[in-house]
Chains A and B, each alone.
Chain A
Amino acid sequence: ELKVEQNPLFLSMQEGKNYTIYCNYSTTSDRLYWYRQDPGKSLESLFVLLSNGAVKQEGRLMASLDTKARLSTLHITAAVHDLSATYFCAVVRVWGGSNYKLTFGKGTLLTVNP
């Protein structure tokens, strides 16, 4: 059974600081997703990481994937209040040709304080 663990689950940061959210998964997968969710809203796709060593950046967020270590990181640079949200990582498992499933981590609630 595929397990996805995120840490930390809660993160309170000051504006301007840097921090990293970690996502570990238990079985081989070469597709990892990061989503953002604002309170009371749906999930918004941030990044798709498709191969070992993949790195993607958007604004103050940078995501990377190490498939050998089964680890992805979401790095926040110089945090601003607008980044306050819950961040989820999710890993794809594929089977039977057309079946696939996303398994989500429990999410990291990020609060950026002025």
Chain B
Amino acid sequence: NAGVTQTPKFQVLKTGQSMTLQCAQDMNHEYMSWYRQDPGMGLRLIHYSVGAGITDQGEVPNGYNVSRSTTEDFPLRLLSAAPSQTSVYFCASSYFDLRAGSYEQYFGPGTRLTVT
């Protein structure tokens, strides 16, 4: 299993450009989510999906779009990049472990995005 993969690892954008951060998982997890991590802020939820075709907003959704056409993929689109979106972005997939009674979350390696 590759687990959760993210591309690219690093990206520099100019203000106003758009791009898509890719996220894929091969564990057949229904639940996927995107977080951003900023210094001193912990991780904040951008968007999440409970299954193919279903997405919803998290704490900080403005400026981002998502779609979930397959169980495996959950891309994050920046519509018009702004310097405030400079951050490290983590994708995660998760499932509820009935035996353990816990939500097991797997994080991708992250994408470091700089917007100038």
Interface residues of A (CB under 8 A from B): 4, 9, 31, 33, 41-43, 45, 48, 50, 88, 90, 92, 98-107
Q: Are B42 and A92 in contact (CB under 8 A)?
A: no
Return chain B residues, CB-CB under 8 Å to A107. Answer: 40, 42
Q: 6 other contacts beyond A43-B43, A92-B103, A107-B40, with CB at 8 A cut-off?
A: A4-B42, A31-B103, A33-B105, A98-B31, A98-B50, A104-B43
Return chain A residues, CB-CB under 8 Å to B2. Answer: none
Q: Are A99 and B50 in contact (CB under 8 A)?
A: yes
Q: Does B34 contact A (CB under 8 A)?
A: no
Return chain B residues, CB-CB under 8 Å to A31. Answer: 101-103
Give the CA-CA distance A33 to B104 in the complex, in Å.
Answer: 10
Q: Are B101 and A88 in contact (CB under 8 A)?
A: no
Give the CA-CA distance A15 to B52 in the complex, in Å.
Answer: 48
Interface residues of B (CB under 8 A from A): 31, 33, 40-45, 48, 50, 56, 58, 90, 100-105, 107-110
Q: Are A42 and B109 in contact (CB under 8 A)?
A: yes
Return chain B residues, CB-CB under 8 Å to A9. Answer: 40
**Contact among A33, A88, A99 for B56, CB-based, below 8 A:** A99
The minimal Cβ–Cβ distance linking A67 to chain B, given in whole angstroms, is 14
Return chain A residues, CB-CB under 8 Å to B90. Answer: 42-43
Query: How many interface contacts (CB-CB < 8 Å) are there between A and B?
Result: 53
**Contact among A4, A43, A50, A100 for B101, CB-based, below 8 A:** A50
Return chain A residues, CB-CB under 8 Å to B31. Answer: 98, 100
Give the CA-CA distance A107 to B90 in the complex, in Å.
Answer: 16
Q: Are B45 and A102 in contact (CB under 8 A)?
A: yes
**Contact among A42, A48, A101, A104 for B102, CB-based, below 8 A:** A48
Known contacts A42-B90, A42-B107, A88-B43; A48/B100 CB under 8 A:
yes
